[in-house]
Structure 1
Amino acid sequence: MKNLHPITSANGNLIDKKTGEVHSVRYLPGYPRQIRFDASKGNFNLNGDVPLTKKGEEFSFIPLAYRIFNDNILGMGKKRWAEFFFLNEARQVCAVLFHGYSVENFMRLAANEMFYDDVTPCDVILTARPVEKECKDPEAPGKKYFMADFSYKKLEKGEKETLLQVTEGINFWREETTTGDARIEFSLNWNPPHPVIELNGATAEEEAAVVAA
């Protein structure tokens, strides 16, 4: 099960140091391996049933692509989401979602620290730490739940270059979470095969046409 955990360094697992050969990445476009943050148990798992962490244990990964968006997906109603794509030790593309207060925590980190460190979420090792909270809803008094808090460490320049080489030409997206109706706040390296609606209501193609005019 160890090879199901995310890579946290771009090392010989990606490129053969002796030959320079780039090891292949396994990914069916639109269908990354699904990693879930269970806000009721405070852990991360694969497909909802294979635990990858214990309760409250940190989960670190290197984002290769991400987006912050608002949409009605997975039958959960319209929410604000953060979606990240990364590689596991088996060189498989994975995706993980966060919503609610977890997204607010990430955006606070991005605005207050990442921006001033001049890094994007794809320039760092991102760590999500489940934090236990108590529900204040009068209909569910005392109910416990978890939100994710975030921290990061900058990637070394060589690691960033290695990741770019290994993932060149890969379009990161997930079929199940791409409706075409999302309002995208921020994204990087997220490339679905059809137009998406940006926060201002224009499609990416329409914005490109305006810039070119």
Structure 2
Amino acid sequence: MFLLRGTDVLLRAKTMQALANSSVAGSPVGPFQIVDTETGEVVDKYLYIPGNPKQYRFDAKEGKFSIHYDENNIEKLGSSLSFQPIAWRIFSDDILGQGLKIWAELFFIDEADCVSEILFHGYSVANLERLITPLVYNRIKLNEVVLTVNADKRENNKIQPKGIYYIASFTYKAADKAITQEMTDYVQIVNLYRRETLTETGKTQVAKNVFNPFVDLLPEPEPSELQEEAPEQTALA
């Protein structure tokens, strides 16, 4: 058997209780649910299949963004994408058949109210880290801003014919405080992760609000461990 870390369980339980207490007594609509105006059905406000978020991709060869539902259902977008992060992590791992790389994974709610995810690697990750540094020193959290990601063209003149590729550059603006608070509450009641990007061997540099079963799920302690006596404490004068 496995269990969540105690602090995570307690935090999520308190958050869910607070949200429940804030709702209208007797209302059939729970936290982060809405009533369909056409059918009267109570539905989730934000759509999310656990472990399988809506996938956005950045093509470093073409400098374009796209939405991948599957390999035969791809919606192409432009060379810029804006979103407000709700969870993120920077890590190194061998995933998606691409070998060992440093990755940045960001989760957000898109315009269609779908929980979404996008990955960056290489120089794009370095650019994101350069943006995060001044945010930290100005006491601004990444989930408090709206990121705009642009595809910047680069040339490799060391090969002939010269190679053309793109890296992601990041700018930001302050996000709406009410939306930020709602997103902060939402991430406390869901487990945000993409199943394909998690392994037992990945090394995380930084993570926020991302659920990782290899870290967040612990073996249930043996009864003997629970009965161990606490070490004696030395009294201070």
Structure 1 residues 108 and 75, CA gap change in structure 2 (3 angstroms): same
2:176 and 2:55 mapped to 1: Cα distance? Answer: 27
Identify if the C-alpha distance between structure 1 residues 21 and 82 changes in structure 2 by more than 3 Å, giving closer, same or farther: closer
- Indicate the structure (1 or 2) with the bigger Cα radius of gyration: 2
| CA deviation string 1:62-112 (max 9, x = no partner) | 11100000000011100000000111122111110000000001111111x
Ranges in structure 2 where 5+ consecutive residues have no aligned partner: 1-28, 34-43, 219-230, 232-237
CA distance in 1, matches of 2:158, 2:203: 28
SS at match of 2:124: helix
Does residue 62 of structure 2 align to residue 62 of structure 1? Answer: no
Instruction: Specify which of 146, 159, 167 is matched with residue 179 of structure 2.
Output: 159
Q: CA offset at residue 194 of structure 1?
A: 2.8
Residue in structure 1 matched with residue 169 of structure 2 by the alignment = 149
Moved more, 158-167 or 86-95: 158-167
Q: Tell me the amino acid that sits aligned with residue 26 of structure 1.
A: L
Contact 1:36 1:44 in 2 (8 A): yes
CA distance in 2 between partners of 1:30 and 1:37 (Å): 20
Quick one: which of 113, 119, 124 aligns to 1:91?
113
- Rounded to whole Å, the distance in 2 between the matches of 1:32 and 1:61 is 15
Other structure's SS at 2:214 match: coil
Task: Give distance in 1, aligned partners of 2:86 and 2:55.
Answer: 15
Residue 71 in structure 1 maps to residue 93 in structure 2: yes
**Whole-angstrom distance in 1 between the partners of 2:211 and 2:140:** 20
Q: Structure 1, unaligned stretches of length 5 or more?
A: 1-18, 197-202, 204-212
TM-score of the superposed pair, with normalisation by structure 2: 0.68
Match of 1:181, SS state, is: coil
Over 3 Å counting, the alpha-carbon distance change for 1:92 and 1:144 in structure 2 is same
Report the Cα offset of residue 192 of structure 1: 2.0
> 8 Å contact 1:130–1:149 — kept in the other structure?
yes
C-alpha contact (below 8 Å) 2:187/2:209 kept by paired residues: no
Percent identity between the two aligned chains: 36
Q: TM-score, normalised by structure 1?
A: 0.75
- The answer to whether the 8 A contact 1:135-1:141 is kept is no
Coordinate RMSD, CA, aligned: 2.2
Equivalent residues of 2:145, 2:173 under 8 A apart: yes
Q: How many residues align?
A: 175
Equivalence for 2:152: 131
One-letter amino acid matched to 1:125 = V
Q: Which amino acid aligns with 2:183?
A: L
Q: Contact 2:86–2:108 (CA<8 Å) still a contact in 1?
A: yes
- 5 Å matches for 1:1-213? 22-23=32-33, 24=44, 25-47=46-68, 49-53=74-78, 57-111=79-133, 113-138=134-159, 141-195=161-215
Q: CA deviation at 1:160?
A: 1.2
**What amino acid maps onto 2:199 in structure 1?**
T
Q: 1:137 to 1:34 in 2, by over 3 A?
A: farther
What secondary structure does 2:85 align onto?
A: coil
Which range moved further: 65-74 or 43-52?
A: 43-52
The structure that is strand-richer by fraction is: 2
Distance in 1, matches of 2:171 and 2:208, equals: 19
